[in-house]
Amino acid sequence: MTISRLIRLAMLRVAGQFYVKNQPVERPRSVLLIRPDHLGDMLFAGPAIRMARQELPEARLTLLVGPWSHALAVRNPDLDEVWTCRFPGFERQPKSDLLAPYRLLFATANRLRGRFDAAVVLRFDHWWGAWLAAAAGIPLRIGYDRPETRPFLTHALPYRPDRHEVEQNAALIAALCRCDAGRPGPLQFPIGDAARAWAADWLADRGVRPDRPLIAIHVGAGAAVKQWPPAAWAEVARRLTSAFDAQIVLTGSAAERPLAQAVMAGLAAPALDATGQTDLEQLAALMERCTVVLGSDSGPLHLAVAVGTPTVHLYGPVSAVKFGPWGDPARHIVLRSAWACAPCNRLDWPAGVLAQHACMAAISVEDVFRATQALLVGAPRVARFV
């Protein structure tokens, strides 16, 4: 354990002593759910939120998310409200001054005070969210029993690192509702008619034939260390085009367009480039029309799972046990790096040392091709929509 973490833990233990513990709440009437993360983790929270609605039909459910997740959260029909907070450490931007996270914490706590009788911190190590719930005076505070969060919780559950994140979320809700978590339900993402029409028109305008498999490759990931080499994606795309007459479409954000261009440069036949051209719902609609979606561990791959499209996920530094696709393993194939140190669960390697942490590159083109082939052979050789 580093000196900085020891200092932080000591500070958190001292701070936690100022908050009242074990305040009884028989039946929560207004619940704050705290989830600071991005797309994939937000999708993982969906089954737990659905469970909370089923078990507490009379309660008011509010989800506190980062603005980066607002577009997804407001689509959840099981929520009454969605509030936003620029959670420190999740903005994927350089840090500001050292005191800024604490100023934001107490300002947000004042905004929350008196509104909720229960809070659930859905991220297992989110000490900032646990402290926020305590500072807001929320009587019942549930989370996982981690050194960082324990000082601020009234109910701390044992954390199981061998359990999927969907199950972690559901276990916390089960503690809130005093029920059995059971097997959480599937990921869901509702798509409207306008987005489906957009996807159909986008493909038709580019001459995509319905008798060819449509394969999306999501070129990026939330951290550079999770990305598979563009040259490897290009080789997989060439082989799929040759073997299955597949139409390849590259997806990603505008910032990921250089990755898509690097893949395109290695192709013999042109691919469609959708990077930077979709909002979240349009991306979901486009993936819904695909025969298979391929990519490194990322939120958009879980979006593909949520809309029912078979997927091939590549995992290196992140645990597939905890963050793998939540769905039928026959339809969602996981390929893991063979490096002995994987998964290390560290994503913040500086650019200068990334070459020394190339565990993703250890996943072979042959393995990705064969996994995709297995899904294609089991599916009709046509697009999912005609």
20 and 103 in one domain? yes
Residue 185 has, within 13 A of its CA and on its CB side, a CA count of 12
User: Do 302 and 244 fall within a single domain?
Assistant: yes
pLDDT value at residue 351: 87
9/78 same-domain check: yes
Give the DSSP per-residue string, 74-105: TT-TT-SEEEE---TT-SSS----TTHHHHHH
Contacts by 128-134, CB closer than 8 A, 24 or more apart: 128/36, 128/87, 128/88, 128/89, 128/101, 129/34, 129/36, 129/64, 129/87, 131/12, 131/15, 131/16, 131/105, 132/34, 132/105, 132/108, 133/32, 133/34, 134/16, 134/19
> CB–CB of 40/72 below 8 Å?
no
> Is 19 in the same domain as 167?
yes
d(CA 128, CA 124): 11
Is 26 contained in some domain? yes
| Strand ranges in the chain using DSSP code E only, listed in sequence order | 30-34, 60-65, 81-84, 118-121, 140-144, 155-157, 214-218, 247-251, 272-273, 292-296, 311-315, 332-336
Q: Is 121 within a domain?
A: yes
Q: Please indicate, yes or no, if residue 386 is contained in any of the structural domains.
A: no
Are residues 169 and 199 located together in one domain of the fold? no
If asked whether residues 127 and 204 sit together in one domain, one would say no
Specify whether 47 is located in the same domain as 160.
Answer: yes
Integer Cα distance of 233 and 236 in angstroms: 5
What is the reported pLDDT for 381? 43
Confidence at residue 22, expressed as pLDDT on a 0 to 100 scale: 64
Residue with tokens 């505070």: 141
Query: Which of the listed residues 142, 177, 212 is the one where a domain comes to its end?
Result: 177
> Is there a single domain that holds both residue 198 and residue 150?
no
Residues 159 and 252 in one domain: no
pLDDT for res 97: 81
Q: Are residues 322 and 262 in the same domain?
A: yes
Give the pLDDT confidence score for residue 383 in this predicted structure: 46
Q: How many domains does the chain have?
A: 2
pLDDT of residue 382: 43
**201 and 320 fall within a common domain:** yes
115 with 89, same domain: the answer is yes
Cα gap 65→33, rounded to integer Å: 9
Please state, in angstroms and as integers, the Cα–Cα distance from residue 68 to each residue in 64, 65, 111, 196, 251, following that order: 12, 8, 20, 23, 19
Per-residue pLDDT tens digits of the chain, which is 386 residues long: 688 888 888 889 888 888 877 666 778 999 999 999 999 999 999 999 999 999 999 999 999 999 999 999 999 999 999 999 999 999 877 777 888 999 999 999 999 999 999 999 999 999 999 999 999 999 999 999 999 999 999 999 999 999 999 999 999 999 999 999 899 999 999 999 999 999 999 999 999 998 999 999 999 998 999 999 999 999 999 999 999 999 999 999 999 999 999 999 999 889 999 999 999 999 999 999 999 999 999 999 999 999 999 999 999 999 999 999 999 999 999 999 999 999 999 998 988 898 889 999 999 999 999 999 999 997 654 445 44
Q: What angle do CA 52, 55, 60 make, to 5 degrees?
A: 55
Domain containing residue 340: CATH number: 3.40.50.2000
SS3 call for 141: strand
> Residue 379: what pLDDT?
63
Question: β-pairing, 272-273 with 81-84?
Answer: unpaired
Range of the structural domain that residue 346 is part of? 193-377
